[in-house]
Chain A
Amino acid sequence: ETGVTQTPRHLVMGMTNKKSLKCEQHLGHNAMYWYKQSAKKPLELMFVYNFKEQTENNSVPSRFSPECPNSSHLFLHLHTLQPEDSALYLCASSQGDRAVDEQFFGPGTRLTVL
């Protein structure tokens, strides 16, 4: 147990659906991240929040919309997704966004877009 939880663990949605992924960290960290992990691709950083402020948007399509209401919670709102968006979405947190801060990952949400 890493102290980072994600719900749901599995999600199947159609291209016209709207859904949200939730991440919660119980480690008292200040930085939170969304990553996308596809087969045969490296972990792709999507968004970074530090002290609730977005510090990184890695050219992510607007059909992915993050929300960070406080340092413990992070959401990823999904709408009009494409089949190629099917992947494992990982949330992570760290003390801060400094070089020396190790990241703690949640179990991920396995997303399938039909």
Chain B
Amino acid sequence: GQQVMQIPQYQHVQEGEDFTTYCNSSTTLSNIQWYKQRPGGHPVFLIQLVKSGEVKKQKRLTFQFGEAKKNSSLHITATQTTDVGTYFCAGFLFAGGTSYGKLTFGQGTILTVHP
């Protein structure tokens, strides 16, 4: 079945350092979504990428979708303590020839930021 792999599993950084998490799929994705889950909280939608090679920015966060639509990355510049949490990618794949599909989540990257 479709798998979405995410690395690294954990990342510890000093405040002010950059952070990147990578997401890879075994199959071409229709689109990819990114979510953030704060400690003790629930996943919250951040952004969606649809087009091949697409790049989107949200303040210090930069999201990229690969040309082949099989990989994606989230990069945070100059991390802050408010960035702590788990970042999930989620890829959407249509079942062949149909309009039906489902979102498959990666295992997430747990980010800790030391002040």
B113 at the interface (CB under 8 A from A): no
User: Which size class do B's interface residues fall under?
Assistant: 20 to 34
Check if B106 sits within 8 Å of A105, measured CB to CB. Answer: no
Are A42 and B42 within 8 A (Cβ)?
no
- Interface membership of A55, Cβ < 8 A: yes
Q: Which positions 90-114 of chain A face chain B at CB distance < 8 Å?
A: 90, 92, 97-100, 102-108
Name the prevailing secondary structure of the A interface residues: loop
Given the complex of chains A and B, what is the CA–CA distance between A103 and B33 in angstroms? 9
- Least CB separation from B33: chain A residue: A102
Closest to B93 in A: A99
Q: Is the CB of B31 within 8 A of A106?
A: no
Residues of chain A contacted by B30 (CB below 8 angstroms): 99
Question: In the complex, which residues of chain A have a beta carbon less than 8 angstroms from the beta carbon of B43?
Answer: 43, 90, 92, 103, 105
**Bound complex: CA of A55 vs CA of B100, how far in Å?**
9
Instruction: Assess the B100–A99 pair: CB atoms within 8 A.
Output: no
**Which residue of A41, A105, A108 contacts B44 across the interface (Cβ within 8 Å)?**
A105
CB distance from A50 to the nearest CB of B (A): 9
A-chain residues with CB within 8 Å of residue B6 when the two chains form the complex: 42
Indicate if the CB atoms of B42 and A90 lie closer than 8 Å. Answer: yes
When distances are taken between beta carbons in the complex, the residues of chain A under 8 Å from B4 are: 42
CA distance A77 to B90 in the complex (A): 27
Q: By CB atoms of chain B within 10 A, which of A97, A99, A103 has the most?
A: A99
Residues from chain B with Cβ under 8 Å of A105 in the complex: 42-44
A70 interface hit (Cβ, 8 Å) = no
Q: Which of A90, A97, A100, A104 makes the CB contact (< 8 A) with B48?
A: A100
Mask, B15-56, CB within 8 Å of A = 1, is: 000000000000000110100000001111100101000000
| Given the contacts A42-B106, A42-B108, A43-B88, A100 and B42 also touching, CB distance less than 8 Å | no
Contacts of A92 in B (CB 8 A): 43
CB atoms of A107 and B42 under 8 A apart: yes
Q: Which residues of B contact A99 (CB under 8 A)?
A: 30-31, 50, 92, 94, 101
